[in-house]
Structure 1
Amino acid sequence: MPDVRLHLLGGFELTIDGHRAPTLQPGVQRLLAFVALTVRGVERDFAAQQLWPDSTEQRARANLRSSLWRLRRLDVELVETSPTRLRLAESVWVDTRDVVGELTASGVGRLDSPVAFDFLFVDLLPDWYDDWLTIEREKVRQLTLRMLETQARRALARGDASEAIQLALTAMAIDPLRETPCRLVMEAHLSEGNEFDAQRTLDDYRQRLTCDPRLAVSADALTLLARTPGPPALSVGESVAG
């Protein structure tokens, strides 16, 4: 069985036994990507409507049949078909599925894999502007953020504030208005006694929120600094000089 690999992160690429497959027409590429991202398969009519939204129903179905015929010319099974449904062949490796499997195995996110690390810094099919990709890109973004936050919490739990800060700052760069990574950075600074850095992180975050009047810092973030222990109180008769 040939080794078929479909890459969607960073751009579309299909390889067969380590060699790039012949260039596929844009409609064929979109069909393959769409089916690959619908893990449980998809209705044929729904796929046709999503992939050719500006065509009539009859024309969209014809485009789907034509694209499937072109895929079969590659002499490897890429899409399993039935009269009503489409599904990616189980033998096809897809980078998004592989990464999701790594990052969600037993509920544990991992950054030590090259594939998982690349996942942080590439977009899903970045040069495509199809409406159906909006939700798929958001899935990738949410998974990335939650994985970074999980790793930052684990770093904090083992006392590694430096790694926690770097992971949380990476999440903040992806979504500057998301509060969870901001709080993680603050907690990491406070764990090292750097109250000024924690306050500066909060001030910077509050400034970013001014772009949308509906947003405000939560009570959880505000109380982080309030919970910071101050210097011990002096007993009666003691002086600062001791």
Structure 2
Amino acid sequence: MPRRDDGASREVVLRLLAGFGVEVGGEEVSLPGSAQRVVAFVALHERPVLRPYVAGMLWLDWPETRAAGNLRSALWRIQRHAPALVAADPHMLRLAPCVRVDLREAESLARSELAGRSSGVPRQSLTLDLLPDWYDDWVLLERERFRQLRLRALESRCTRLTAAGRLDEALEAGLLALAGEPLRESAHRALVRLHLAEGNAAEAVRQFRLCRRLLLEQLGVEPSPLMLDLVAGLDARSTRG
């Protein structure tokens, strides 16, 4: 009699960037919304979490017994569709150790960039938001934490590659950081430094003007002294636009 394939021997991938998704053995697995929320909540905690805590956080307005029942139902659906995804015992839940999570891989890449260890092309993961269409408080906090990490990593890459003379790659990283947050002055500063390193004073001024206009129009503030110091050596008239 053939043995049932429970997915344990196949690669399991959990996607949390740009939307929720699960792949088992290269095939997409569809999970109901309640099951998705349980998987995502557990995945965002690096340590095992208590079942009552998960139930209470995901079903805030439900009585405790109903919330626990909803959690059991969601876990049953997860076990049915992707049994190798969540490890559960009577008290705790955790993501199975074999599961690859795109968020964790992106965080590792970002930290490598910040430490100056990465030399490859930045992957798309550093341009993606965590679960962008989810608005639970526990998602919003993690989304902002990861957003700050990935933008700082891209800026760090831009600065490091500028210093190394790898200006094309530096430009790509700087523009990706700016696309992630056009009002982020530190990304504008990284690009101004790059243009000055190339000897392109006009491009540096253009970048400064763009930064100044965005900050004034959107926030009502002038660029910081850090930015002004960068362009201090340029023609004063050219930086007033």
* TM bucket, shorter chain: 0.7 to 0.9
Counterpart check, 1:80 vs 2:104: no
CA distance in 1, matches of 2:32, 2:192: 49
Structure with the greater alpha carbon radius of gyration = 1
Distance in 2 separating the partners of 1:171 and 1:19: 32
Is 1:226 paired with 2:232?
yes
- CA positional deviation for 1:110: 4.2
Within-5 A mapping of 1:1-242: 1-21=9-29, 23-74=30-81, 76-105=83-112, 107-108=115-116, 110=118, 112=120, 117-210=123-216, 211-213=218-220, 215-227=221-233
- 2: distance between equivalents of 1:79 and 1:109? 32
Whether the 8 Å CA contact 1:165–1:184 is kept in 2: the answer is no
Residue 50 of structure 1: CA displacement? 2.3
The CA deviation at 1:75 is 6.7
Q: Describe the SS at the equivalent of 2:65.
A: helix
Relative distance call for 1:175 and 1:6 in structure 2 (3 A) is same
In angstroms, what is the RMSD of aligned CA positions? 2.5
Identity %: 40
- The count of residues paired between Structure 1 and Structure 2 equals 226
TM-aligned CA deviation for residue 96 of structure 1: 1.3
CA contact (8 A) 2:215 2:222 kept: yes
Name the counterpart of 2:3.
Answer: none
Q: Give the TM-score normalised by structure 1.
A: 0.82
Question: After TM superposition, what 4+ stretches of structure 1 lie above 6 angstroms from structure 2?
Answer: none
Tell me the alpha carbon deviations over residues 100-145 of structure 1, each in whole angstroms, 9 at most, x when there is no partner.
23333483464736xx522134332233333321112112212221
Alignment gaps of 5+ in structure 2: 1-8, 236-241
Matched with 1:238 is: none
Tell me by how many angstroms 1:40 deviates: 1.6
**1:155: Cα distance to partner?**
1.3
Is the alpha carbon distance of 1:89 and 1:154 closer, same or farther for their aligned partners in structure 2, counting shifts above 3 Å? same
Counterpart residue type for residue 92 of structure 2: R
Contact 1:206 1:216 in 2 (8 A): yes
